[in-house]
Amino acid sequence: MRKRHTFSKRLARTALNLEDFETLVRRRLPRSVFGYVEGGADDGDAVTHNRNALRAIRMIPNVLGDVSQRTQQTTLFGQTFSAPFIVAPMGASSIVGYDADNAMAHAARRANIPFTLSANSITPIEEMAKTYPGAWFAAYQSPDHQNIQDMCLRVADAGLSLYMLTVDVPVASNRENNVRTGYTMPFQLSQRLCLDVLRHPRWALGTMLRTMRHRGIPRISNVDPNSRPSIFSKEIGAVTGHAAFSWRHAEHIRKHWKGPFVLKGILSPRDARLAREIGADGIVVSNHGGRQLDSAVSPVEVLEAIRDESGFMTVLADSGFRRGTDILKGMALGADGILIGRPFLYAATFGGQNAVAYAISRLKRELDIDMALLGVNTPQEANISHLLRYLTA
């Protein structure tokens, strides 16, 4: 109990906001592992642009509106959550921080916000269903019809509630930063990687060896309904990008998945319309945190136009959202909820479930203050009249 108290006090001194967790873990992690999380594609322009695009939107508050009844309650796909933000799917999280998938999921469940498990995770769907019954699942789906049916069955049988299809990875992107730092998938124990690991004994013992003791050789557990290739196996190079995947295959998933079906990685109004036409329940407007097409627009630049094409679909957004004000900006532009990735993984890496719970509570606190200062009682009240946009560079 005393230990937890000291930990909370230390956190309160060092992590005032979500971005601070990046600073806290930067030196703890091997350069290659940190680079894998932090980095983007090509020159990393989209990562920077995501933050700039959000910063370029200024807010116009309304005063004297009685903001004493503030609540962040948000209903998504028929379920009511305590805040409008969601833990984004992140592959290989539990290689970055010890048991990070479970740490993030436990904290999300306790805080009553959604958690999304990645197909590329080493934590199996069935294990996650015990940690967070009804958690969301993000698939990298093969176009094979039998594979689609089996995957839908596996996710439903386990008891996860939502099938999110990631649609912006027809091929793996060009991650030069991974080449520079020595991160590879499948994992290759090059001399450089070994030296990097040896220089970070805390990660080597506390994450790598501990994971191996607990799980054996880590395996990518959810890209295929039946097989679980090890992170060292050549098989996993081919599992995420499916260049032949098309709207026809997405329609096939819609037919076999009875729960909420969401397409993640939409950036054009045309694709939002097509998602609606195949019967999707929602979309995530996302440039994958700047990790796919490096010159892609930032979600906040296209959200309004996409909202107009989305009809009754739930519109979520992600990529670069860090502050309470960012969430309000996204919602004012038409999003129903916001996914956040890297900061929650950094928090899990720094201090497991308690640090993620702390990160969630900091963001909720910030959002509460920002709602009052903007002059709204709910995040859903934020609208276009609260925003002024400058051109972004």
User: Could you give the angle at the alpha carbon of 268 between the alpha carbons of 265 and 269, nearest 5°?
Assistant: 125
Residue 298 binds to ligand FMN (criterion: CB under 6 A): no
CB 264 within 8 A of CB 138: yes
**Contact pick of 120, 142, 221, 325 for ligand FMN (by CB under 6 A):** 120
Helix axes 299-309 and 269-277, enclosed angle (nearest 10)? 40
Look up 5 and say whether it is catalytic: no
Q: CB 385 → ligand FMN: shortest distance, Å? A: 27
- 392 by Cβ neighbours in 10 Å (0-12 / 13-18 / 19+) ranks as middle
Tell me which residue has its CB nearest to ligand FMN. 341
Q: CB 291 → ligand FMN: shortest distance, Å? A: 6
Q: Where on the phi/psi map is residue 13: left (φ > 0), alpha (ψ -120 to 50), or beta?
A: alpha
Pick the stretch among 19-27, 176-184, 243-251, 339-347 that binds ligand FMN (CB under 6 A).
339-347
**Residues in 8-47 at the binding interface with ligand FMN, rule: CB under 6 A:** 37
Q: CB 114 → ligand FMN: shortest distance, Å? A: 12
Residue 289 binds to ligand FMN (criterion: CB under 6 A): yes
**Contact pick of 131, 173, 286, 314 for ligand FMN (by CB under 6 A):** 286
Question: Which of 29, 376 has the CB closer to ligand FMN?
Answer: 29
Q: CB 60 → ligand FMN: shortest distance, Å? A: 25
Token duo for residue 53: 């695009």
Pick the stretch among 66-74, 173-181, 207-215, 337-345 that binds ligand FMN (CB under 6 A).
337-345
User: Could you give the angle at the alpha carbon of 363 between the alpha carbons of 359 and 364, nearest 5°?
Assistant: 115
Residue 306's nearest CA partner among 324, 286, 322 is: 286
**Residues in 162-181 at the binding interface with ligand FMN, rule: CB under 6 A:** 166
Question: Which of 39, 334 has the CB closer to ligand FMN?
Answer: 39
Catalytic position from the list 200, 249, 252, 288:
288
Q: Which residue has the tokens 């050789």?
A: 217
CB 376 within 8 A of CB 67: yes
Question: Which of 175, 307 has the CB closer to ligand FMN?
Answer: 175
Residue 219 binds to ligand FMN (criterion: CB under 6 A): no
Q: CB 59 → ligand FMN: shortest distance, Å? A: 20
CB 330 within 8 A of CB 317: yes
CB 106 within 8 A of CB 131: yes
Question: Which of 307, 342 has the CB closer to ligand FMN?
Answer: 342
Q: How far apart are CA 130 and CA 148, in angstroms?
A: 23
Residue 319 binds to ligand FMN (criterion: CB under 6 A): yes
Question: Which of 37, 302 has the CB closer to ligand FMN?
Answer: 37
3 state SS of 194:
helix
Residue 264 binds to ligand FMN (criterion: CB under 6 A): yes
Q: How far apart are CA 193 and CA 211, in angstroms?
A: 18
Q: CB 341 → ligand FMN: shortest distance, Å? A: 2
Residue 318's nearest CA partner among 305, 337, 291 is: 337
Which residues are marked as active site? Answer: 288
Residues near ligand FMN, by CB under 6 A: 37, 88-91, 118, 120, 138, 166, 264, 286, 288-289, 291, 318-321, 339-342
